[in-house]
Chain A
Amino acid sequence: MNILTTYTLKYLRLNKKRTAVTILGAVLSSALICGVLLLGLSFQKMMIDHEIFMSGSWHARFLAVPFEKAKYITENNAVETSMFSSWLGNATYGSQNTVRPYLYITAYDTLSFQNRNIKLITGRYPQNADELLVSPVMIGDSGLGLKVGSTVAVTFGQRDIPNHDEMVKAWGGEEYVALADGETFIPSVSKTYTVVGLMVPLADETSMPASFPALTYLDPAQLAAADKMDISILAHDPHSIYSSAPQMAESIGLATITGPDGQPTESIVYNEDLLSWMGASSHDNYARFFPVILATLIILIVCGSAFVIYNAFAISIGDRKKQFGMFASVGATSAQIRRIVLIEAGVIAAIAIPLGIVGAIIGVAILLKLTQGIVAQVILDAEQGMPLVVSPLVIVLTVLFSAVTIVLSAWVPARRAARVSPIDAIRQSGEVEEGKLLDLRTNPLIRRMFGFEGELALKSLKRDQKRYRTTVLSLMISIILFVAFNSLTLYTNTTQNIAVQAMNFDLMIDLDYRQTHAEDFAERVVQLPEVQRVTFRRSHYSEYIPERSVITDPAYQALQELTSLDNQYLPTVREDGTYEFVLEVNAVGPTEFAHYAGQLGLDLAQYSDPSKPLAILVNHITLRQSGKLYDFDLFNLKPGDTITANRMQGWPSPQTGGDAIDSLTWTVGTVTEETPLGFMGMTLTPTLFVSDAVFDSLSDQMVQLGPINPGNMTLKSDDPDTALVAIERLYKSTVGGNFSYQSMKEFNQSNSLQTLLTNLFFYGFMTLITLIGVTNIVNTLDTSIKLRRREFAMLKSVGLTPAGFRRMLRYESLFYGLTALLYGLPIAIAVSVFIYSQFGSGVGTFNFTLPWGAIAACIIGILAIVFVTMMISGATIRNDNIVDTIKEQNL
């Protein structure tokens, strides 16, 4: 073996403690890098699986492709799999549900059934064009007693909706238009299907108010050349889908098609969410920032680790300066001396990287196992929790980043070692270079306050500025990272808690008031003993353009500032400088309105008179945008003032009979900041509350100005679980059909779990980063003691007592720790301020605060680490023989 390798291996073996500490730092670094990559890829896999579960496994979908041209897509080199689907039409089927009388029948080929999110409950997928797959909700609602094996006769046809085009344009598609007054059905073809399976209701199901989705089989062999269908594809390379798909579309003349609203639209739809998680989407969204987050974490780890490992090598080089000088005097070249250090780096890497990778795999596997239950509750389809993905890419990237970190960290010390001159080996002087002037004067106060030992301690620190700065910087980095991470965790948790606290109800039930028996259901819910308060929310939207004088100055100022930001809740600015607001008028149900009016001390009778429609105006806005708090009244309106609601842009012309109206005037009865049950924080949408009597009496007019959303039901209960059971039973016996709800208890649980999960990962990461920092500090301080053995021996020889020696080390600890805290804490606080400024955008605010507990722990921790390290290191040399240490001749 080469003498340089022999020397290096011997050095590492003989300095086991320092070698172990360096290897530990490198292992932690590799483990962290590998752990972040493993978690990242595992999370990505889980989200990809989740998106496939939610929206199916496809990348792009070409709409309305003539069958004769399909081959130009299916046989394209970029396409791995292609799936056909075709909407056959609306059909009646003799359902007893008078609100949702249609079936919305789509045909899928075999691959579509496999790859799109269709989950069988019982039975099987259709295998021919006479078979049908439906949801249990449809079966329950139809009242026909259908089951697997039943036949159902359907009649395809056209929905003849009054103002068809305008309604379709307003709702974004015929399938989203509810059964309209005066609507008729024009039948065409009849067909009989056999029900062969029941499927979990599709995601679309709840947004089709007039129909239930049903699926049949599409046999491409039965298609004629001119038949149109949708083709969904899985691309070989999802990353190029945004270029390959348009090329394919263009090649068959599919540039744009006419959308349901009559406007030209893209003929290609992309599975954005899935593509995002694959890193293939070009759109700005959370998933796109995911690799950025991963990369940022890895850079943080690499920088932190590089510093630690660099320091370890710098200490090692400093320790062997004379030896390197001796090598040089005997004729070793600079390159050979450099090679010694790089061999050391190579050995460290060869040991540490595999250990780090194995450690990370085991650690992450354990972490994922522990969090399996939590993850499964947060992401319902991830029953097995997050899968552990150990890909060759993870190993390769870990080896690459770790090796680069270690070698780069050793490079500067290697060059320094190579520059050691032979004369450095010959001279017996200590670390002070000959001829170099140092200002080692200390303030006389130091001796008075800390004694001579304190003065010695301070001079000791001043003498080796490089080591002092390195140690203090190590401590500072640990302080900053620790406090910053705790701030991040604190603000994340606070934001989540605010969202939870803003929910002032226990249950929310989806209730379409247009459904049969909806009112009956609502009235009976009020009487349930488990229910304390109920809001039956119906909301009407129209347009409000106030005069400039009506808008308060703070509000106007805010609108000027917020206009430059992309915010969906912003009113639209007009050419003349006025603003178009969306006005929301709400009815909350008679009981809740009475409660609300009572709370505000209002005369309920006054607000129930339809001939003089009085409204309660909620006028106060509090939101945070880009770190700035906006807190103001929106309008200068007082009781007696009026608000004129206009027709919303694009809302179709009068829907009902009678005289058409273009506006409706509301009178402000009272202005308040309070809201009824179920309303959480205001956005920049002025909100009125009216009694149900007023809302009902004016609904024919209101609907001419804008939509009335069927809304939902929110309620408060002391026993939400029991209330939910009773309500669901009531729902099924009245309204029937799909019972959809949100429970705040479940939301809170999910939220707590998410917080727990987030905290687990945050704290785990923080612990490891802190550990790296601590390793570095311990290594540096321990070596600084060991390197001054001779000096300590000399001090003892002239009379420094053991107690005095301990005192000197204590003061050194104090000076290191205090300096690091004095510089590190202000920087950490500044970083926390920056992190805070990135939080709290929109409704829900929290005042700036610091993680005081973490800061206190940090102060105690830093002082403790420094103190304990120096005391332990000091203890190991305390009993050195004075003469032997002074006389130590060799290198």
Chain B
Amino acid sequence: MEILKVNNLSKIYGKGDTQIKAIDNVSFSVEKGEFVAIVGSSGSGKSTLLHILGGVDTPTSGQVLVDGTDIFSLDQTQLAIFRRRQIGLIYQFYNLIPILNMEENITLPLLLDGRRLDEAHLKEIVTTLGLADRTKHLPNQLSGGQQQRVSIGRALINNPALMLADEPTGNLDSSNAKEIISLLKLSNQRYHQTLILVTHDREIALQADRIITFGDGHIMRDEVVRA
């Protein structure tokens, strides 16, 4: 079942001579439960693509359908609600709220939705992420790896349709990086999350089911690695 469909997506910065086409008329789709890696060199537009898929950036033209919903036909409020329920975003630089503790950062999308916390679900996620003894810690009391796990937990808490990770290991050492990728794969397998991961690391990309190679705003190659 198709969970994501991108139609003729473009993102252009600037005008005239200084115009930059970060994404140039890109179209593709992703099936539910797929683990897709988007690779490319620095400045190829892959992060821009991921941000547009997550609804945190707007395209110049084109369509993004997530689970059948054209996300850019929604107004700002609807898009925000859609994002908190259907999209889980993980960034390279964690982007945690510094004054909320670990548990609050993880449950933030849930709390914004005004929904009651499922303690068992939270415990499962926290335990899976290896953070059970750190729930009341503030971000500055956690290591880089721990902080990134918190951001994964935040992305997972609402069982979103789509998990988008932008260079999640870019700021971590190799040991932590391996652990993070393992966790992401676990969530993909255990919860059948559709995972799209942007990376410049070929080794990480090879752990995905499918690799889309991005360059100069285009899809250069789209290959299934694992059926």
User: Could you tell me the distance between the alpha carbons of A330 and B109 in the complex, rounded to whole angstroms?
Assistant: 6
Is the beta-carbon distance between A331 and B109 smaller than 8 angstroms? yes
CB of B172 to closest CB in A, whole Å:
11
Is the beta-carbon distance between A331 and B13 smaller than 8 angstroms? no
Say which residue of B13, B51, B100, B113 sits within 8 Å of A7 (CB atoms). B100
Known A890-B98, A891-B97: A336·B89 in contact at CB below 8 Å: no
Say which residue of B14, B56, B98, B107 sits within 8 Å of A891 (CB atoms). B98
Interface of chain B residues 50 through 73 with chain A (CB within 8 A): 51, 54-57
Q: Does A231 contact B (CB under 8 A)?
A: no
User: Could you tell me the distance between the alpha carbons of A329 and B105 in the complex, rounded to whole angstroms?
Assistant: 13
CB of B57 to closest CB in A, whole Å:
5
User: Could you tell me the distance between the alpha carbons of A328 and B55 in the complex, rounded to whole angstroms?
Assistant: 10
Minimum CB distance partner of B85 in chain A: A331
Minimum CB distance partner of B95 in chain A: A326
User: Could you tell me the distance between the alpha carbons of A423 and B81 in the complex, rounded to whole angstroms?
Assistant: 16
Minimum CB distance partner of B160 in chain A: A331
Is the beta-carbon distance between B139 and A331 smaller than 8 angstroms? no
Known A6-B104, A890-B140: A329·B98 in contact at CB below 8 Å: no
Residues of chain B lying within 8 A (CB to CB) of residue A329: 54, 56, 83, 89, 95
Known A423-B51, A889-B171: A331·B112 in contact at CB below 8 Å: yes
- Could you say which of A7, A14, A326, A434 has the most chain B C-beta atoms within 10 Å of its C-beta? A326
Q: Does B76 contact A (CB under 8 A)?
A: yes
Residues of chain A lying within 8 A (CB to CB) of residue B89: 329-330
Say which residue of B57, B98, B113 sits within 8 Å of A331 (CB atoms). B113
Interface of chain A residues 431 through 470 with chain B (CB within 8 A): 434-435
Known A435-B14, A889-B93: A10·B99 in contact at CB below 8 Å: yes
Residues of chain B lying within 8 A (CB to CB) of residue A11: 99
Minimum CB distance partner of A434 in chain B: B13
Q: Does B80 contact A (CB under 8 A)?
A: yes
Is the beta-carbon distance between B95 and A14 smaller than 8 angstroms? no
Is the beta-carbon distance between A323 and B97 smaller than 8 angstroms? yes
Is the beta-carbon distance between A426 and B56 smaller than 8 angstroms? yes
CB of A624 to closest CB in B, whole Å:
62
User: Could you tell me the distance between the alpha carbons of A335 and B140 in the complex, rounded to whole angstroms?
Assistant: 29
Contact with B along A249-286 (1 / 0, CB 8 A): 00000000000000000000000000000000000000
Residues of chain A lying within 8 A (CB to CB) of residue B85: 331
Known A422-B56, A435-B13: A330·B112 in contact at CB below 8 Å: yes
Contact with A along B137-162 (1 / 0, CB 8 A): 00110001001000000100000000
Minimum CB distance partner of B114 in chain A: A2
Q: Does A333 contact B (CB under 8 A)?
A: yes
Q: Does A189 contact B (CB under 8 A)?
A: no
User: Could you tell me the distance between the alpha carbons of A322 and B80 in the complex, rounded to whole angstroms?
Assistant: 16
User: Could you tell me the distance between the alpha carbons of A11 and B97 in the complex, rounded to whole angstroms?
Assistant: 10
Q: Does A334 contact B (CB under 8 A)?
A: yes
Residues of chain A lying within 8 A (CB to CB) of residue B98: 323, 890-891
Q: Does A425 contact B (CB under 8 A)?
A: yes
Q: Does A429 contact B (CB under 8 A)?
A: no
Known A3-B104, A426-B51, A435-B13: A328·B95 in contact at CB below 8 Å: no
Is the beta-carbon distance between A423 and B108 smaller than 8 angstroms? no
Interface of chain A residues 837 through 891 with chain B (CB within 8 A): 889-891
Is the beta-carbon distance between B96 and A890 smaller than 8 angstroms? yes
- Could you say which of B51, B98, B140 has the most chain A C-beta atoms within 10 Å of its C-beta? B98
Number of interface residues of B (CB under 8 A): 40
User: Could you tell me the distance between the alpha carbons of A666 and B74 in the complex, rounded to whole angstroms?
Assistant: 98
Q: Does A611 contact B (CB under 8 A)?
A: no
CB of A718 to closest CB in B, whole Å:
77
Q: Does A567 contact B (CB under 8 A)?
A: no
Q: Does A428 contact B (CB under 8 A)?
A: yes
Q: Does B220 contact A (CB under 8 A)?
A: no
User: Could you tell me the distance between the alpha carbons of A285 and B77 in the complex, rounded to whole angstroms?
Assistant: 57
User: Could you tell me the distance between the alpha carbons of A422 and B50 in the complex, rounded to whole angstroms?
Assistant: 13
Q: Does B46 contact A (CB under 8 A)?
A: no
User: Could you tell me the distance between the alpha carbons of A137 and B95 in the complex, rounded to whole angstroms?
Assistant: 91
User: Could you tell me the distance between the alpha carbons of A7 and B105 in the complex, rounded to whole angstroms?
Assistant: 10
Residues of chain A lying within 8 A (CB to CB) of residue B214: none
Contact with A along B118-152 (1 / 0, CB 8 A): 00000000000000000000011000100100000
Interface of chain A residues 629 through 675 with chain B (CB within 8 A): none
Residues of chain B lying within 8 A (CB to CB) of residue A421: 56
Is the beta-carbon distance between A333 and B97 smaller than 8 angstroms? no
CB of A569 to closest CB in B, whole Å:
70
User: Could you tell me the distance between the alpha carbons of A252 and B93 in the complex, rounded to whole angstroms?
Assistant: 89
Say which residue of A7, A336, A891 sits within 8 Å of B95 (CB atoms). A891
CB of A563 to closest CB in B, whole Å:
67
User: Could you tell me the distance between the alpha carbons of A281 and B151 in the complex, rounded to whole angstroms?
Assistant: 70
Known A3-B108, A426-B91: A331·B80 in contact at CB below 8 Å: yes
Is the beta-carbon distance between A423 and B94 smaller than 8 angstroms? no
Q: Does A332 contact B (CB under 8 A)?
A: yes
CB of A10 to closest CB in B, whole Å:
4
User: Could you tell me the distance between the alpha carbons of A322 and B94 in the complex, rounded to whole angstroms?
Assistant: 12
Minimum CB distance partner of B108 in chain A: A330
Is the beta-carbon distance between B83 and A330 smaller than 8 angstroms? yes
CB of B213 to closest CB in A, whole Å:
23
Interface of chain A residues 1 through 28 with chain B (CB within 8 A): 2-3, 6-7, 10-11, 14
- Could you say which of A6, A328, A426, A891 has the most chain B C-beta atoms within 10 Å of its C-beta? A426
Is the beta-carbon distance between B100 and A330 smaller than 8 angstroms? no
Q: Does B111 contact A (CB under 8 A)?
A: yes
Is the beta-carbon distance between B77 and A333 smaller than 8 angstroms? yes
Q: Does B84 contact A (CB under 8 A)?
A: yes
Say which residue of A333, A434, A435 sits within 8 Å of B76 (CB atoms). A333
Say which residue of B82, B97, B107 sits within 8 Å of A326 (CB atoms). B97
Contact sample, A vs B, 22 pairs, CB 8 Å cutoff: A3-B104, A14-B99, A326-B97, A328-B80, A329-B56, A329-B95, A330-B84, A330-B108, A330-B109, A330-B112, A331-B84, A331-B113, A333-B77, A333-B80, A335-B77, A422-B56, A426-B51, A428-B93, A889-B144, A890-B94, A890-B96, A891-B95
In the A-B complex, list the 10 residue pairs whose CB atoms are closest, starting with the nearest: A331-B84, A422-B56, A3-B111, A331-B83, A10-B99, A333-B80, A333-B77, A329-B56, A423-B57, A890-B98
Given contacts A331-B82, A891-B97, 10 further A-B contacts (CB under 8 A): A2-B111, A7-B99, A326-B97, A329-B83, A330-B109, A334-B80, A426-B51, A426-B91, A434-B13, A435-B14
